[in-house]
Structure 1
Amino acid sequence: MVSPHEIVLLYLDEHGPVAQTELVHYMGRDRSTVTATLQAMERADLVVRSSSPTDKRATTVALTDHGRETVPRARAAWVELERRTTSPLTADQKNALVEALALIRDTLNQA
Structure 2
Amino acid sequence: MTATAKPVEDLPIENENDILIPAAFRDVIGYHLRVAQEASFQAFNATLEKTDLKPGWYSILTILSEYEGLTPSELSRVCGRDRSTLTSTLKGLSIRGLIERRENPDDQRSYSVRLTDEGRNMYARLHAFAEEHDRRLDSIVGEDKDALIAILARIVGALGKG
TM-score (norm 1): 0.84
Q: 1:31 to 1:90 in 2, by over 3 A?
A: closer
Q: Across the two proteins, how many residue pairs are aligned to each other?
A: 110
Task: State the Cα deviation string for residues 78-104 of structure 1 (Å, max 9, x = none).
Answer: 22221112213332x112112112212
Q: Is residue 52–residue 60 contact of structure 1 (8 Å, CA) maintained in 2?
A: yes
CA–CA separation in structure 2 for the residues paired with 1:82 and 1:99? 17
**Partner of residue 159 from structure 2, selected from 82, 105, 108:** 108
Q: Greater CA deviation, 71-80 or 16-25?
A: 71-80
- Which structure: larger Rg? 2
Q: Is residue 77–residue 161 contact of structure 2 (8 Å, CA) maintained in 1?
A: no
Report how far residue 70 of structure 1 moved: 1.7
**Partner of residue 26 from structure 1, selected from 75, 78, 83:** 78
Identity %: 35
CA–CA separation in structure 2 for the residues paired with 1:89 and 1:27? 23
CA RMSD of aligned residues (A): 1.9
State the structure with bigger RCO (CA 8 A, min sep 6), 1 or 2.
1
CA–CA separation in structure 1 for the residues paired with 2:118 and 2:78? 23
DSSP 3-state at the match of 2:100? strand
TM-score (norm 2): 0.60
Segments of structure 1 that go 5 or more residues without pairing to the other structure are none
Superposition pairs of residues 1-111 of structure 1, within 5 angstroms: 1=44, 3-91=55-143, 93-109=144-160
Instruction: Write the letter of the residue equivalent to 1:63.
Output: L
Q: 1:101 to 1:68 in 2, by over 3 A?
A: same
